[in-house]
Structure 1
Amino acid sequence: MNSRRRPLVIGITGNIAAGKSTVMRLLADRGATTIDMDLVTRDALRSNGAGFGPVVERFGREILDDTGEIDRVRLGRMVFADPANLRDLEQILHPIVGGIGRTLVEEADTDVVVIEAIKMLEGGRSRELCNQIWVVASDEALQLARLQETRGMSEQDGLARLANQSSQEWKIQQADRVITNTGSVQDLVRQVDEIWLSVVQAESR
């Protein structure tokens, strides 16, 4: 790709356990700088992070573990059981995490930056940062199985997470590209390669 003052920024989103992180890793292998907004959020929630104080003030010290850090499982159960709690958490964290994301994009030294975030579209401002939005879509039964197998969630917790999301169909309507992750790993790699090649060719013109 040609060097450019600002990189092409691709936003990767989709519902939980759809395969976003796998797609992001594949794009990293192809030369993109990748930013995992879930990891950025985790850092913001640490005791030395910008989100720690406001979140503890809102949800109480009962969300802390024995070391004084936020227990993300306790916090998750609290917010995913109550839409109002989830909205409050997002209102606290989105400005903080968004600011960190913009800084990381500015610091990137590659021609393509990939940002992965589950709530990329809901705020209505994703196009301010991202040139393209790619949605990773999957089947809800597969997503639930992945949550149980890879994250150790109970069926109840997994279903609660799945229920507290924007619809996959709505996200697909907002997408520039859609990657369907319901088949084999080889099929997923093929889709990523095809889209990546088209992006490389378009940016090289």
Structure 2
Amino acid sequence: MLRIMLKVGLTGGIGSGKSEVSRRLASRGAVVIDADKIAREVVEPGTGGLARIVEIFGTEVLREDGSLNREKLGSIVFADSGKLASLNGIVHPLVGARVEELQHQADESAIVVYDVPLLAENNLAPMYDVVVVVDAADEVRLARLVGIRGMSEQDARARIAAQADREDRLKIADLVVPNEGSLEDLGARVDEVWAELSARAG
């Protein structure tokens, strides 16, 4: 029987700074299982996942080198909920199988942090002992997506709109990491969260 000491679901809207929080928790000793990273791995060239995507969406979602053009695919699925559901139907089971594999490799005393972008949207909160939400206002996230990631405002707004709204995410939070200030502020809050998680695990 698999026994992990503490299962933590980490989520936050696009542009909230969730990846930064995930990195900082990893540096403090958490075992981080990153669903986004795994989602990229399961559609790398040569995988069955990529073959199924091409079967459904055609070769126009490929780059010249045969890898997945995520921007092109994103622009197709974020504009059409039916196509998004088709994509999720391919990727989610593959991600689930890989997550299970990684769980079995984790030490039984580990604090395992699952970095899950769509935790609220897919009603996954009950799967975790603790849910941590990284929170920032929509306008702050929009500015980051446009300014730092170079998205067009229209694309950034569409991606924010495709996710759960801020209130829905905060409703499922056991712990909140506000991230509208400096990296120092963020680091201090992550320290508090890590202390709280360690206490719960202990």
Question: TM-score w.r.t. structure 1 length?
Answer: 0.90
1:115 partner SS: strand
Q: Pick one of 147, 150, 153 that aligns with 1:152.
A: 150
Please tell me whether the aligned partners of residues 120 and 168 of structure 2 are also in contact (alpha carbons under 8 angstroms): no
- Single out whichever of 143-152 and 14-23 deviates more from structure 2: 143-152
Tell me how far 1:179 sits from its aligned partner: 1.2
Name the counterpart of 2:45: 47
Check if 1:187 corresponds to 2:189.
Answer: no
Could you give the per-residue CA deviations for residues 20-53 of structure 1, whole angstroms, max 9, x where no partner exists?
0111111111111112211111111112234212
Name the counterpart of 2:30: 32
Determine the C-alpha separation between the residues in 1 that align with 2:159 and 2:82. Answer: 15
Superposition CA RMSD, Å: 1.7
Identity of aligned residues (%): 39
Could you give the per-residue CA deviations for residues 96-141 of structure 1, whole angstroms, max 9, x where no partner exists?
112211211221236111111211232234533x221111110111
Name the counterpart of 1:15: 13
Q: Pick one of 85, 89, 92 that aligns with 2:90.
A: 92
Q: Count residues with an aligned counterpart.
A: 200
Gaps of 5+ in 2: none
Determine the C-alpha separation between the residues in 1 that align with 2:48 and 2:116. Answer: 19
- Single out whichever of 69-78 and 139-148 deviates more from structure 2: 139-148
Determine the C-alpha separation between the residues in 1 that align with 2:10 and 2:20. Answer: 11
Determine the C-alpha separation between the residues in 2 that align with 1:121 and 1:48. Answer: 32
Kindly report which structure 2 residues correspond to 1:62-141, keeping only aligned pairs within 5 A, or say none: 62-109=60-107, 111-128=110-127, 130-141=128-139
Tell me how far 1:83 sits from its aligned partner: 1.9
Runs of 4+ aligned residues of structure 1 deviating over 6 Å after TM superposition are: none
Question: TM-score w.r.t. structure 2 length?
Answer: 0.91
2:45 partner SS: coil
